[in-house]
Amino acid sequence: MPPNTEPPEMKFIPKIDNRNLTERRTHNKKQPINNLPEELLARIFLVTTQSSIRLRGAYQFTLFPDIAIQVCSQWMKVALANHALWTHIHIVEHFDDDNVALWVSRAGPDALFDIEIDMLEPYCGVAFFDITDWQEQVSHIGRIFKFFSSVKAGPQRWRSLSLSVLQPEPMYKFIQLLNKHPAPNLSHLYLCSEPDRSDDEFHKERCLTDAHYCKGYSPSEHAVPNLRHAEFTYVSWRYIFDRPKPLLSGLVKLKLSAGTVIPELVLPNIQILLLANPNLRWLRINAEFAYDYEFDRLPDEKCPKPVLLSSLKFLSLEGGDNISLVSDILSIITAPSLDGLMLGSHGVSNDDEFVSKIFNYLATGQPPMTENSAIASINKSAFLLLRKLDITGLSVNGQIVMDLLASLPLLTHLAIGCHAAESYLDSSPHTLPSLKSISLSCWGDHQHYQKIEDFLRQRAQNGTPVAVVNVPRNPEPEPGFEEKFPGTVLRTRDDGAIFSCLSLNNYLMVIVHNPQLTVYAVTPVSTMAGLATYQTASGQAQHHEPSAPMSSLAQPGRDILNINNLPPELLSYIFVFGEQAERFTRTNQATEHVRFPDVASQVCRHWRIVAINNPALWTYVVMKRPGEREVAMRYVSRTGLTDILDIEIEMRTEFWHQAEISPIDWIAQRAHTYDLLETLKTMGATPDRWRTLSVWVRQPEPLFEVISFLHSHATPVLQCLSLRWSSKSMQSHEESRAINGMETSLRSLVLSGTSAPCLRHVESTSVPWPFILERPSPLFTGLISLSLTAATRLTSIANLTALLRGNPRLESLHLSSEPDELKTAYSSFLDRFSHTECVPLISLRSLSIQSAYSRGDWILDILKAIRAPNLEAFTLATELYADYASGTTDYELRLLNYLSGSDLDGDASEPITSTETTSIYALLHELDVSRVSCQSGGRTMITLLSSFPSISSLSIASHQMDCLGRSPWLLPRLKVLRLSGLLCSDLGNVLRRRNSAGYPIPFVELQNYQYWDQEDRDIWLSTLPDGVAVTEYPELEDISDNDGSEAGDWEDEANDPYEYQLGTESEWMEGAGTDSNDSDSIHEYPVEYEQEEYEPSDGYSETAGYSEDFYFPACWVDDNTFLDDIYGLDNPGGPYEGYHEDFDPFTTDVYFDGLYGYDGLGEYDGGEFSEDSGGWDDYGDGDGYDYDYDSYDYGQDDYIDSLGDIYEDAYDVDF
């Protein structure tokens, strides 16, 4: 035996996985399915669950949810959280009660159920009664019905019901109970009285008792008012038809399978039933097991009049030995929109008069008549729009087939017997110009496609090759088919089922069982081919490069790819998910960027059909270039007439360059903005369809035009509004120009009430605050989410609180004193908080305040102006250099004092002791201080964190998280630690210290990990304690700072010829259309600044004087707290001197490697911890020390040094 082989029996022995848990977890994390978002994973679970449901009557099988919860903890979490997974309740045995109750509990209290009850042989065997004992079966039906109600899964929660029984009486009993306990949500009903062919009593129709005719045993209208899909298999047609009024009405799908008896005068009863269901879209009548129908057949002259079924798309008639029944039913149906037709009847021949009648009717539209046995002169087909035809069940050939197919020019899919195809297709290659697919059926063992080789060859030579030929797998096709017939794919079937029984039937079933997917009603069967797994003729997959011609996309290698086997509804959902992922993670995109919907629609014909027929994929309309109006029009046309839209308009520097308008010509930009909004209306994207609107501009005035447009047009479905003024060279005089030139009418308009009743989310970035806030009535009301970022000037806190007071239901609030790209803002405040009342925001759950420059006074006044007792998440982004006397301000200390709960009334003249301090946000559980710039691990950060002991989730910069190790008792409830920036090597030590102190952190999330050194990252993560779950997130590229839309386009303004000529000081004049050489314009710019000099001060100015007294947070100076000793305010030895005098925090053998900082030259200059001295040997001399580790370096280190020089005497405080 070769050394690398093993005995054949070994492959049946399960192999033991010797990897440990960590290795298996590492392996699993690399699997693509474990990196899917939970929403998509849940959707895949749902589709997999549906595919795991076996055919009705199958006994033992395990549904996918029971498997998914046993794979891993993530799958269990997703499965248990997805209530829809547990809505299929299957009863197959007598002892299924516990399992049913468990599934009902997991489905939640509001889900609708799909009930499947199989009271067949397995059930009877377990329950110990005979399969013919219908009395016992009736008793068990009553027990099952009562059990569902007892577990709160009664009929009122049924969406579909499938009942399979061996005897009809249990079925009638179930219907009787349903009449007493209605099912208002039931839309699908399947009833099967499965015949036992070995029971003679069945053939004697013992079951035809009085129950057939009793009113109580028929489903009443009030019992199932919303029933739309009904399927009766082997249910006696006497029960269905022998009644004064139709059994069912209002259906869109109906399937009737007869037993052994066809009642007398059944055709008029079928007509009555069809008249009661004029909206039928799917109809199948099967009588293949019934006795001879012709003895009781009505004469032709007494046949009922045809019924108009204008919505009917698919019709299937199977007569068995009764071809006359097929002919009669066809004669009473008029279906002008019929798309698919399947006819079958075994044992017929060409000379059968009813075959001639059928083909004559289909070809000419002439009703069947006894005298007409030959095809009459062709007028028009009975079904002009027919595209899919299956006549494999009719073993006929010759002229009648040729005449029929010649009358169907739109036919795209044909299923036909081999011999009939040979006799017709070879002689008429031009008759079916639209033919795309042929399915051949034959019981022979020859190469089936050889019957139509000449036809395929002629079609290929004429430039109209047949795309797909479908044949039985047995015998195995010969190789070389693709080379012989280029452009045609040979597919094989495993089970011998022809296309009509698989693709066409499933095609309609997808539509019927998913009403929301009616968009696929026009999808050809080639789209649905992915429902089955196919194999190439050679049995091998073929791959083609993207540069291959389009015809190569139809090569069979594509069909065995897993994604091409997905149902169209799931593929469509994945497309929508991909489009949304691209939308919300969009980075700077080059001009030639192609959006996801356009890519998906160009991959292959299957993808294109799915993409184009999914309106939700095209609702995001983006205009970033003037030439994209045609693209926007195409998107809007594919959304339909009523779908709501998401509009995004970016009119920044590159936009105006292509529009041949200067980026600083605000007058032309404002006019162009109005024209653009009107253009959206003309292309069908009217404001009444807007769900979201996002507008980015280069000058502020176009935003005023947008607000005015919205005020004058009703936007009943507008939910989200985002307005942004984006410029890397934003100037104060630009904002002043826009505010001073603003029309008076703009100050009175509002966007709420009748104009925008659904507006709930507003993001205003750099829109001048005087425009937003200084108005008699709030611009927005009824919001639940608000984000306000100032441009170059702030405004009165009283104006801000007026807006907040108009939105008492706010749940999320973000306030920023300046845009990220500006780093500072000019101040123009009118008053201080002392003149404003506090605004209660009871519903506020998330609060974010950002001020990149040291502006603790403004932040402090904002916090005092808002009362949020139920706040759960708080984000603070500012600079707090309170650790250094030369760099601190009075308001920074006041802010810390307020956050620690020591200054709730705003009076910090006297520090409050620790016994009097309380957290200002008692319910807070999430804190983000990752953008708070302060000395690493110093008392400022410790004080800030100690102010919120209730939080369980903390976001912090990596270089500042060492405070959690120095004071492990901080944040005792902390469970999730989010770190940003470069990974700190002491992370493992910090987590161990927390574990030893009894405050473990089980979850760590790392952001921006793509910038880390991979080797160092692996080493550091390997030192983490056991049981810590680490999740890594890359940093998404921020596009807010980039004024251009192209990747890396930071030179768009520097290269602007207009700015080169005018300079930044003259930029604002371009909007007025002035000449830079005009001498009269020279004096206008100084005049503007003269006006600004007389504007009132706000009290927040950079040059405003500070109080000479400092008010430290109470915990810094309180004698009753141990923190005073830790901070060592009175100890000249340093802020951490004496940190370990009375307590040894190092309870493990792993110590800190040291405290590191930059020495100003890019090198680390730090100290090593000495266990002997109990402190730090060298804290650094401080020369050139970078206080914030350059993580948020706005040049503040030099600024703080300069402040220290200026105010050294005024702030003579000994730290």
DSSP code per residue over 827-838: ------GGGSPP
Q: Are the beta carbons of 870 and 857 closer than 8 angstroms?
A: no
Complete DSSP assignment for 353-376: HHHHHHHHHHHH-PPP-TT--S--
CA 66 to chain centre: 25
The two three-digit tokens of residue 485, written as one number: 């017939």
80 CB-near residues (< 8 Å, 6+ apart): 69, 106
CA angle 1005, 1009, 1014 (to 5 degrees): 125
CA distance 362 to 407: 8
The two three-digit tokens of residue 1169, written as one number: 């911890």
The two three-digit tokens of residue 84, written as one number: 């829809």
The reply to whether 545 falls in a domain is: yes
- For residue 763, the number of C-alpha atoms closer than 13 Å in the C-beta half-sphere is 13
The three-class DSSP label of residue 670 is helix
The two three-digit tokens of residue 1024, written as one number: 């983490």
The reply to whether 1158 falls in a domain is: no
b vs e for 596-633, b when ≥16 Cβ sit within 10 Å of the residue's Cβ?
bbeebbeebbbbebbbbbbebbbbbbbbbbbebeebbb
Eight-state DSSP code of residue 293: -
Eight-state DSSP code of residue 981: S
Sign of CA dihedral 194, 197, 198, 201: positive
Query: Residue 785 has what pLDDT?
Result: 94
Query: Residue 54 has what pLDDT?
Result: 64
The two three-digit tokens of residue 284, written as one number: 């199948």
Q: Name the packing angle between helices 353-364 and 323-331 (round to 10°).
A: 30
Q: Are the beta carbons of 744 and 771 closer than 8 angstroms?
A: no
Among residues 122, 141, 121, 143, which one has the least CA distance to residue 131?
121
Q: Are the beta carbons of 652 and 699 closer than 8 angstroms?
A: no
Q: For 708-755, where are the E strands, in sequence order?
A: 720-725
pLDDT < 50 positions in the chain: 1-4, 8-14, 197-214, 369-378, 495-561, 587-591, 823-831, 833-834, 885, 887, 904-917, 1037-1215
The three-class DSSP label of residue 124 is helix
Strand partners, 839: 866
CA distance 544 to 1123: 69
Eight-state DSSP code of residue 1091: H
Q: Are the beta carbons of 1047 and 593 closer than 8 angstroms?
A: no
CA 12 to chain centre: 41
- pLDDT, tens digit, for every residue of 989-1017? 889 999 999 999 999 888 765 556 667 77
- pLDDT, tens digit, for every residue of 305-325? 899 999 999 999 988 878 888
Note down the domain range covering 487. Answer: 412-495+519-565
CA distance 338 to 362: 12
Q: Are the beta carbons of 786 and 807 closer than 8 angstroms?
A: yes
Residue with the two structure tokens 């042989």: 121
569 CB-near residues (< 8 Å, 6+ apart): 510, 514, 517, 520
Alpha carbon distances (Å) from 48 to 54, 162, 497, 713: 12, 20, 23, 46
1202 CB-near residues (< 8 Å, 6+ apart): none
Q: How many domains does the chain have?
A: 2
The reply to whether 1044 falls in a domain is: no
Among residues 1178, 1102, 1174, 1191, which one has the least CA distance to residue 1140?
1174
Alpha carbon distances (Å) from 571 to 112, 778, 979: 24, 45, 36
Which pTM value belongs to this model? 0.51
CA 1164 to chain centre: 46
Q: Are the beta carbons of 991 and 964 closer than 8 angstroms?
A: no
The reply to whether 932 falls in a domain is: no
Q: For 698-804, where are the E strands, in sequence order?
A: 720-725, 761-765, 785-789
The reply to whether 790 falls in a domain is: no
Q: Name the packing angle between helices 418-425 and 399-406 (round to 10°).
A: 70
CA distance 696 to 1137: 53
- At which of 59, 86, 113 does a domain end? 86
Eight-state DSSP code of residue 1081: G
- For residue 689, the number of C-alpha atoms closer than 13 Å in the C-beta half-sphere is 20
- At which of 61, 86, 111 does a domain end? 86
User: Whats the size of the chain, residue-wise?
Assistant: 1215
Sign of CA dihedral 751, 756, 760, 763: negative
Q: Name the packing angle between helices 605-612 and 568-584 (round to 10°).
A: 70
CA distance 1075 to 1081: 8
- At which of 48, 69, 86 does a domain end? 86
Query: Residue 641 has what pLDDT?
Result: 81
CA distance 1177 to 248: 90
Query: Residue 216 has what pLDDT?
Result: 53
CA end-to-end distance (rounded Å), the chain: 82
Q: Are the beta carbons of 229 and 188 closer than 8 angstroms?
A: yes
Residue with the two structure tokens 């499947």: 116
The reply to whether 489 falls in a domain is: yes
- pLDDT, tens digit, for every residue of 488-498? 888 887 643 33
The reply to whether 1181 falls in a domain is: no
534 CB-near residues (< 8 Å, 6+ apart): 491, 492, 556, 559, 560
Complete DSSP assignment for 636-662: HHHTTTT--EEEEEEESHHHHHHTT--
Q: Are the beta carbons of 867 and 905 closer than 8 angstroms?
A: no
CA distance 229 to 187: 6
The reply to whether 501 falls in a domain is: no
Judged by phi (left if over 0) then psi (alpha if -120 to 50, else beta), residue 1138 lies in: left
The two three-digit tokens of residue 1180, written as one number: 């650094």
- For residue 531, the number of C-alpha atoms closer than 13 Å in the C-beta half-sphere is 21
Q: Are the beta carbons of 799 and 771 closer than 8 angstroms?
A: no
CA 1071 to chain centre: 42
The two three-digit tokens of residue 390, written as one number: 């299956």
- Provide φ and ψ at 181, rounded to 5°: -130, 90
